Chains A and B, each alone.
Chain A
Amino acid sequence: GEDVEQSLFLSVREGDSSVINCTYTDSSSTYLYWYKQEPGAGLQLLTYIFSNMDMKQDQRLTVLLNKKDKHLSLRIADTQTGDSAIYFCAEMAPPGRRALTFGSGTRLQVQP
């Protein structure tokens, strides 16, 4: 079955790197996504990675995928106070299914 798990909370200091982790159980995941949700707002797509990739980098964001361990991470370099939000990982699985299964979300708090 589908199950996506994240830690609930992460606190970092401004300027440090943040690493948000996610584990999933369905090995047939095709795409994995990271979304950001600020208070009172919808979901902003940050980045996504195809399951045959190990890494994807986009400016301050680096996504690492370990398929063997079913582990996904999002690294935010030089974290800013504006990065404070809830971050959701989500998987698209099994193949042919186009909808997403979401993790519980990680609340990132950036301290000045």
Chain B
Amino acid sequence: SAVISQKPSRDICQRGTSLTIQCQVDSQVTMMFWYRQQPGQSLTLIATANQGSEATYESGFVIDKFPISRPNLTFSTLTVSNMSPEDSSIYLCSVQTGTGELFFGEGSRLTVL
């Protein structure tokens, strides 16, 4: 298994500001992902965080809005830029282990006023 720590666990932010969410894993993993869960909804993949190269974004998500870093095999950050109330969601980090299991962090609950 993998233990994933996300920071912050929750935050309340003002419109127009940016927030960076950190994801730390207790072991080296090849695949790391960022998902968004809007209130009362399912999870949607934002991007795959690639170590040493630019993230791969899903349709509807762009680097300028959601820049991602992946400096090594245990850490990644997701920034939500120029926030609006529509960005209020839970943002979840996920990793895949060598056995095919995908684990999730506890999520970062963001409220934008």
Contacts and interface: CB of A to CB of B under 8 A. Distances in A.
Interface in A38-82: 41-45, 48, 50
B23 to A, nearest CB: 12
B106 A41 contact: yes
Given A98-B31, A98-B96, A99-B33, A45 B101 contact: yes
B62 interface: no
| Contact residues on B (Cβ < 8 Å of other chain), bracket | 10 to 19
Contacts of A44: 104
Interface string A77-106: 000000000001010100000111111110
Contacts of A45: 101-104
A9 B28 CA distance: 38
Interface residues of A, number: 21
A101 B35 CA distance: 10
Contacts of B100: 31, 48, 50
B102 A42 contact: no
Contacts of A50: 100
Contacts of B45: 99-101
Contacts of B48: 98-99
B104 A42 contact: yes
B42 A102 contact: yes
A33 interface: yes
Among A41, A44, A98: residue with most chain B CB under 10 A = A98
Given A42-B107, A43-B92, A100 B42 contact: no
Interface of A: 31, 33, 35, 41-45, 48, 50, 88, 90, 92, 98-105
17 contacts: A42-B92, A43-B92, A45-B102, A48-B100, A50-B100, A90-B43, A92-B102, A98-B33, A98-B48, A98-B96, A99-B33, A99-B45, A100-B43, A101-B45, A102-B42, A104-B41, A105-B42
Interface of B: 31, 33, 41-45, 48, 92, 94, 96, 100-107
Q: Would you list the 7 A-B pairs with minimal beta carbon distance, nearest first?
A: A42-B106, A43-B104, A102-B43, A102-B42, A42-B107, A98-B31, A99-B45
